[in-house]
Amino acid sequence: MENIKVLITEEEIKRRVCELGAEITKDYAGKSILLIGVLKGAAVFMSDLMRCIDLPVEIDFMVVSSYGSGTKTSGNIKILKDTDVSVEGRDVIIAEDILDTGITLNNLKDLLLKRGAKSLKICTIFNKPARRKSPIEAEYVGFDVPDEFVIGYGLDYDQKYRNLPYLGVLDSSVYGDQ
């Protein structure tokens, strides 16, 4: 596509997602997992990841928001859709598209632990360590990415580009100097 530079190819992502699934399969041997996806961004990653986990997996979704339509964080989260099942006593893995400032996941992690999750780990396909503002790290990370606004593989700019099968960077002329 025009104005998009490919950072991580479809093939590289596929390979890495299945490595993460294999790691989770090994770490949780004998257990069943509640995989919670943070919509909308994690939808693409989560659907690929769950098919690479060879264990009993139950899935659920949450919608939380910390961003407006621009590219900067507003600093707190709102729960717009909660899980359908209880996390109490469950081994929970949160599937995320990108760990950026960490504000969203830090709040979410606290909440699910307060609700009695037996264990809670974070699995993010992309990680932007340079932008971290909350003291949080993911136990499973697909790729570290540079401090640029990335799109594709679930990630959007103004709700567009989520369907790209690769991770890319938009030419800054598309979104100006936000």
Catalytic residues: 100
Segment 88-117, which members bind Mg ion (CB under 5 A)? 97
103 interacts with, out of ligand IMP, Mg ion, none, CB within 5 to 8 A per kind = ligand IMP
Q: How many helical (H) and strand (E) elements, i.e. helices and strands, does the chain have? A: 3, 9
Q: Which two tokens stand for residue 100?
A: 């950026």
Segment 58-77, which members bind ligand IMP (CB under 6 A)? 66-67, 73
Minimum CB separation of residue 85 from ligand IMP in Å reads 22
Query: Closest by alpha carbon to 155, among 3, 38, 1?
Result: 38
Segment 137-176, which members bind ligand IMP (CB under 6 A)? 149-151, 155
From the centroid of its chain, how far is CA 27?
19
Q: Is 101 in the site for ligand IMP (CB under 6 A)?
A: yes
Residue number with CB closer to ligand IMP (2 or 69): 69
Question: Count of CB atoms within 10 A of residue 84's CB?
Answer: 9
- Helix-helix angle 10-27:43-50, to 10 degrees: 60
Residue number with CB closer to ligand IMP (123 or 155): 155
Q: Are strands 140-144 and 91-99 parallel, antiparallel or unpaired?
A: unpaired
Count of positions on this chain that bind Mg ion (CB under 5 A):
3
Residue number with CB closer to Mg ion (26 or 81): 81
Q: Which residues make beta-bridge pairs with 37?
A: 61, 95
For ligand IMP, the binding residues (CB under 6 A) are: 41, 66-67, 73, 96-105, 149-151, 155
